[in-house]
Amino acid sequence: MIEGPREFARLRNAVLLLTVIAWMLLLVEPAGIGLPAHCSGMDSASVRLARSFRMPLGMNSPASLVAGWMLMLVAMMAPVLIPPIRYIHLRSFAHRRARSTALFVAGYAGIWMAFGGVLLALEMAATSAAPSSFVPAGCLLSAALIWQCSPAKQRCLNRCHAHTELAAFGRAADLSALRFGLTHGIWCVGSCWALMLFPMLLPSGHFIAMIAVSVLVFSERLEYPMPPRWRWHGFGKLKRILVAQVQIRRVGLRSGPALSF
Confidence band of 35 (pLDDT split at 50, 70, 90): very low
Let me know if residue 260 belongs to a domain: no
As for how many domains the chain has, the answer is 1
Let me know if residue 27 belongs to a domain: yes
pLDDT in tens, 125-167: 888 888 888 999 999 999 999 999 999 999 999 999 989 889 9
Let me know if residue 259 belongs to a domain: no
Let me know if residue 54 belongs to a domain: yes
Let me know if residue 82 belongs to a domain: yes
With 0-12 / 13-18 / 19 or more C-beta atoms within 10 angstroms meaning exposed / middle / buried, residue 87 is: middle
Segment 169-174 shows an average pLDDT of 93
Let me know if residue 261 belongs to a domain: no
Residues 6+ apart with CB under 8 A from 89: 3, 7, 8, 11, 97, 101
Whole-number pLDDT of residue 110: 96
CA distance 87 to 106: 16
More confident residue, 43 or 76: 76
* pTM given for the model: 0.82
Cβ 101 vs Cβ 84: under 8 Å: no
Confidence band of 13 (pLDDT split at 50, 70, 90): very high
Cβ 22 vs Cβ 74: under 8 Å: yes
CA distance 183 to 108: 8
Let me know if residue 75 belongs to a domain: yes
- pLDDT of residue 99 exceeding 50, the answer is yes
